[in-house]
Structure 1
């Protein structure tokens, strides 16, 4: 097992949830945390603890985004008009690696980030290798011609683990799709309950 996979599953076990809804998750076998003290009786969390857990879940889901960058997303969400928690979700879902994951061009957010990093994706015909690049409405995302027959892409496209959400369209024969619109929280197919309002409370303390 790679260090990346170990880290990913450690996030699942630490949070006690199957964050990406995958059958391989260790939480499907045991719901307690990692380490020799993982089975200790859990105390009732404080308000701070609940808010922190909500933040860790959301950060972890998108490939364990760094704290500095995640805080920048929050600050941008505050600056925008409308509901801050909805704005935060919109920004996260516009990340190129998140869009690649939603299109089922990669099995996990971690794999999607690596796929973008390695230059396999174009946006509106131009190669983009920055996972945090924010796509716009109607941007066209496509796998580079030389990469369309990669086994990892074909396996992800054929996976039945999840569906492509309505705010994205994809033609898996051409490995080409479009980001149609910004989603609302209710549109995003999270396997577990996300509470961005608690994340907003955490940062606004």
Structure 2
């Protein structure tokens, strides 16, 4: 098992939740955390602990973004007008790797970042190889012609475990997707409950 795979599943077990709703998640078999102390009874989390867990879960969901990058996204959401938790979710869902994942061009968010980094994706006809690139409403994201026959892409488009959300229109024959609008929290098809309000509380301490 690759390092990326093991860290992905370790995150699931640390949280005790199947974050991405994957059938192979070890949480489906054992809900305790990884490591030799994983089965110890867990005490009640403090308010700080609850907030930290919410932050780790949301950060981990988007491919375990670095703390620096995640904090930067929060700061931007905080400066924007409107509801900060909603702004945070909107900014995260505008990431190119998140849209590639949502459009079912690849099976996992980790694969999405690697897929973008390796130059397999275009935005409005231009190649973009930065996973954190922020898309705007109306942008057309497509898989490059040479990359459409990759086994990874074919497998992902046939996955029955998740659906493409309404804020992205996808044509799997052409392997292109249009980012229709910036979603709200209720629009995003998380497999588990995400609490961006607790993330805001964590950073505003």
Same-fold status (TM-score > 0.5)? yes
1:39 aligned residue: 39
User: How many residues were matched structurally?
Assistant: 205
Scaled by the length of structure 1, the TM-score of the pair is 0.99
Question: How far 1:90 sits from its partner (Å)?
Answer: 0.2
Q: Provide the rounded CA distance (Å) in 1 between the counterparts of 2:41 and 2:115.
A: 40
Question: How far 1:19 sits from its partner (Å)?
Answer: 0.6
Query: Helix, strand or coil: the match of 1:141?
Result: strand
2:30 aligned residue: 30
Structure-to-structure mapping, 1:108-119, within 5 angstroms: 108-119=108-119
What does the per-residue CA deviation read over 1:149-189, in whole Å, with 9 as the maximum and x for residues that have no partner?
A: 11100100011010000000000000011000000000000
Q: Provide the rounded CA distance (Å) in 2 between the counterparts of 1:52 and 1:67.
A: 12
Scaled by the length of structure 2, the TM-score of the pair is 0.99
Q: Provide the rounded CA distance (Å) in 2 between the counterparts of 1:86 and 1:30.
A: 33
Q: Provide the rounded CA distance (Å) in 1 between the counterparts of 2:186 and 2:16.
A: 23
Q: Provide the rounded CA distance (Å) in 2 between the counterparts of 1:177 and 1:49.
A: 38
Query: Helix, strand or coil: the match of 1:178?
Result: strand
CA RMSD for the aligned pairs? 0.4
Unaligned 5+ residue runs, structure 1?
A: none
Unaligned 5+ residue runs, structure 2?
A: none
Alignment of 1:89 with 2:82, yes or no, is: no
1:131 aligned residue: 131
1:190 aligned residue: 190
Query: Helix, strand or coil: the match of 2:21?
Result: coil
1:102 aligned residue: 102
Question: How far 1:36 sits from its partner (Å)?
Answer: 1.1
Q: Provide the rounded CA distance (Å) in 1 between the counterparts of 2:36 and 2:8.
A: 19
Question: How far 1:15 sits from its partner (Å)?
Answer: 0.9
Alignment of 1:10 with 2:6, yes or no, is: no
Q: Provide the rounded CA distance (Å) in 2 between the counterparts of 1:43 and 1:106.
A: 38
Query: Helix, strand or coil: the match of 1:73?
Result: helix
Alignment of 1:171 with 2:171, yes or no, is: yes
Question: How far 1:191 sits from its partner (Å)?
Answer: 0.2
Q: Provide the rounded CA distance (Å) in 2 between the counterparts of 1:103 and 1:79.
A: 29
Q: Provide the rounded CA distance (Å) in 2 between the counterparts of 1:177 and 1:4.
A: 26
